[in-house]
């Protein structure tokens, strides 16, 4: 059943596609991202869409954005906690500490701040409850070469997901995680040219349409209150994940 959905990282890629699909299916959608012009374009002037420029690493900005979404739509039913970055690939001795901190700030602290704001709203609203969907990654299971910062944050998101799922039970707040592999977005364009493999080679990897990832998110979002997908993996069928390493 359609309700109110908040999407972070809604200016591009999977976030933008989830927002587009949700709007087409009758959801009211708050689109959050740093780039105002891009989320305004994604919202397309639709009355059911609310573009909210927001840096997910800024606690005050996050709280204000969620308050604005709740004020506009009356409640928050689902958060797709999607905003993330992939820092430059490097072995751990070559990672710039600034890149490490940036990954932690967006991929982990940003997810925490948005989940915190959503949980607070869902706990306080009547009827109580809602759903938080964290965007993990295939890297939450198996790393790529040179991805210590990204992989560490995505493993941490898994712990965050489990804890929110547990803590949300008394308040009818479900939490699940979607781990997406090789969706065709600007961020994964290099996969067509070649990606470093665990054996030291460089090989192209298959990608799936971003619409497939969005469909999976919307399946999780549309579940009845008494059901939850705790973890889902959706990936390009032939990508090197099973057997990676």
Identify the DSSP state of 188.
G
123 among known catalytic residues = no
DSSP output for 81-146: E-----PPPB-GGG--HHHHHHHIIIIIIIHHHHHHHHHHHHHHSSS--EEEEEE--GGGTSPPTT
Distances (CA, A) of 219 to 78, 134, 144, 206, 225: 12, 14, 28, 23, 13
Which pairing describes strands 202-203 and 130-135: parallel, antiparallel, or unpaired?
unpaired
Tokens found for residue 191? 């996969």
Catalytic residue among 27, 73, 80, 150: 150
Contact 51, 15 (CB under 8 A): no
Catalytic residue annotation: 150
């Amino acid at each position: 059943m359609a309700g109110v959905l908040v999407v972070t990282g809604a200016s591009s890629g999977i976030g933008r596609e989830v927002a587009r699909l949700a709007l087409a299916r009758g959801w009211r959608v708050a689109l959050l991202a740093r780039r105002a012009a891009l989320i305004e374009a994604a919202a397309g002037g639709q009355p059911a869409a609310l573009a909210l420029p927001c840096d997910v690493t800024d606690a005050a900005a996050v709280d204000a954005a969620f308050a604005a979404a709740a004020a506009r739509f009356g409640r928050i039913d689902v958060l797709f906690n999607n905003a993330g970055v992939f820092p430059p690939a490097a072995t751990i001795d070559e990672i710039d500490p600034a890149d490490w901190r940036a990954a932690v700030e967006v991929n982990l602290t940003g997810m925490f701040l948005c989940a915190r704001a959503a949980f607070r709203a869902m706990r306080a609203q009547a009827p109580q409850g809602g759903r938080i969907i964290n965007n993990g990654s295939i890297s939450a299971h198996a790393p790529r070469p040179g991805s210590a910062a990204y992989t560490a944050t995505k493993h941490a998101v898994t712990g965050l997901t489990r804890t929110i799922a547990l803590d949300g039970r008394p308040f009818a707040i479900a939490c699940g995680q979607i781990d997406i592999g090789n969706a065709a977005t600007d961020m994964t364009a290099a996969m067509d040219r070649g990606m470093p493999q665990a054996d030291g080679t460089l090989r192209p990897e298959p990608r799936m349409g971003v619409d497939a990832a969005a469909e999976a998110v919307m399946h999780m979002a549309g579940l009845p209150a008494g059901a939850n997908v705790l973890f889902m993996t959706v990936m390009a069928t032939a990508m090197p994940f099973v057997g990676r390493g």
